[in-house]
Amino acid sequence: MTPDAFLILCRAARDSLALFLTGSLLFAGWLAPRDLGIALSARLRKFWAWGSVFTTVIVIATLPAEVSEVGDGWQDAFSPTLSKAVLVDTTIGQAWIIQAVAGVCLLLLTWRKCGALLSVIPACLLLTATALTGHVRMIGMGAMFFQAVHLLAGGFWCGGLIPVAMLVSDTRKKKWDLSMQMALARYSAAGHIAVPLVLLTGSGLGLNILGGWPKHFTVYSTLLILKLGLTSGMVCIACVNRYVYVRNLRQKRNITASLKYLQRGTIAEIAFSAAIIAIVAVAGRMDPTTLSLPTN
């Protein structure tokens, strides 16, 4: 396996874990009512603990691959000189340091059961450090900031889907209680901010990287359009969930059917999220101006 392919796999795995860790920690620690948050934290604790372990291991494993990309392949992976150069002289190295420190902190906090309120801080750092890498670093600090906002909003939206799916599953087995209703209402209200932020920052950054709407489609621009299409699909599902099924639950209409379709819609959103992360992992290693698609 080439270093580039290894980095694509690592980025997909790392970003998936960071996204879902951040969102689920935010949901349990900040959105859910206290008692429900404690119950969710107890159920998600193993996921958080082992997720932090795997994320930290993946982050550590990416450094030799990044060094290999600078050098002449895997034979230079553990070169002290090149490793120092990557860590000190590149934004990739700076991002790696932040992610490594954040990963270790998250690992310690989750294994010591310090709670979602505290653990979410290193999780957010782990997620947003990616803004220092990739194509946005060529645009400038403003683009990096908006990329960080994009990642945080996406983390809240996509990562929060895991506890939402858990709550909907629970509700299908027992009574629809006030704390669950309150948690979903808060998630929905915050989603009215997070979803537009994801769309606006993602579209703006994509157009900036491409220099406007592409005149000639490349693999990179096609992947961005596919990402936009999947995100739009997620928005449609989220709107149906929010304005049809959640409203039915509030008004106590068609509860059984609404819960069933709400659960299916939430699972579909999670699947779309995973596909988007995979697309971003591949696109992030591409040159936006090359790799043209065949015209016939």
d(CA 111, CA 105): 10
Sign of CA dihedral 12, 56, 149, 46: positive
- pLDDT number for residue 290: 63
d(CA 271, CA 237): 12
Q: In this predicted model, what pLDDT tens digit does every residue of 12-48 receive, in sequence order?
A: 999 999 999 999 999 998 888 888 888 888 889 999 9
Mean of pLDDT values over 120-124: 92
171 to 131, 167, 178: CA distances (angstroms): 37, 6, 11
Q: Are 134 and 209 in contact (CB under 8 A)?
A: no
- pLDDT number for residue 126: 92
pLDDT at 4 over 70: yes
Tokens for 260, please give them: 């069933």
Strand partners, 218: 292
Q: Structure pTM?
A: 0.86
Which residues touch 225 (CB under 8 Å, ≥6 apart)?
none
pLDDT band at 293 (very low <50, low <70, confident <90, very high): very low
pLDDT at 220 over 50: yes
Euclidean distance between the first and the last CA atom of the chain, given in angstroms as a whole number: 31
